[in-house]
Amino acid sequence: MAVTIKQMISETDVDRRISEIGAEISRDYAGREVRLVGILKGASFFMCELAKRITVPVSIDFMQVSSYGGATESSGRVMIKKDLDESIEGLDVIIVEDIVDSGRTLAFLGEFLKNKGAHTIRYCTLLDKPERRVVELKADYSGFEIPDQFVVGYGMDFDQKYRNLPYIGVVQMDPEN
Ligand code: IMP
Ligand code: MG
């Protein structure tokens, strides 16, 4: 199927917003250190840009998860494909996501990382689709609220493609002719 990507948020606007979030985190965590936990693969582009703009000491780790269930309807359960490499015992952790949709991934990971003994846990997401929420989840740091549309770019994919776009775009299916 032919696909067109329509720009929704420009590279300049994304970069500016990431700088604002970086400054906010730097203020909130003044005098402390922060462990960023990025959720692969989508959050990796956002997390690198964010980390560069945080002025308190930063260390990073990654997890990868996937949802159980069929292709169209997720059962809502989350499976861990890659766990943390480092202990988070006693640390101030920020989970970094590309986008919050149902909220299930972040809600699950928040509980999971609490049980690993983090001192504090906050949620940071580049994008948020509040209309789609199934479980209660409020991000502490959120770049942009967007309507219920499927987006790509800045780490987010459609069938593993378009992660490398430097802006956020909406996927449009072109009618075949
Ligand atoms: P949640 O657990 O339903 O909140 O799902 C969040 C995950 O779904 C994100 O980490 C993305 O991998 C994926 N996702 C949700 N909406 C989009 C989208 O519009 N584009 C790309 N990935 C999305
Ligand atoms: Mg994801």
pLDDT tens sequence across 17-49: 999 999 999 999 999 999 999 999 999 999 999
CA-based torsion, 80, 83, 89, 90: positive or negative: negative
Whether ligand 1 lies within 6 angstroms of the CB of 104 is answered as yes
151 lines ligand 1 (CB under 6 A): yes
Which is the catalytic residue, given 13, 61, 101, 140? Answer: 101
Q: Where are the domains of the chain?
A: 10-64+84-144
CB 47 within 8 A of CB 38: yes
Q: Is 128 an active-site residue? A: no
First to last CA, the chain: 11
Q: b/e per residue, 43-67, with b = 16+ CB within 10 A?
A: bbbbbebbbebbeeebebbbbebeb
pLDDT at 82: 98
Q: Which atom of ligand 1 is nearest to the CA of 105?
A: 2
Distances (CA, A) of 160 to 35, 41, 64: 27, 10, 15
Question: Would you say 169 and 6 are in contact if contact means Cβ atoms under 8 Å apart?
Answer: yes
Which of residues 146 and 76 earns the better pLDDT score? 146
Let me know if domain 10-64+84-144 sits in CATH 3.90.1640.30.
no
The pTM assigned to this predicted structure is 0.95
- CB atoms < 10 A from the CB of 169, how many? 21
The alpha carbon of 154 and the centre of ligand 2 are apart by a number of angstroms equal to: 12
Any ligand 1 atom below 6 A from CB of 133: no
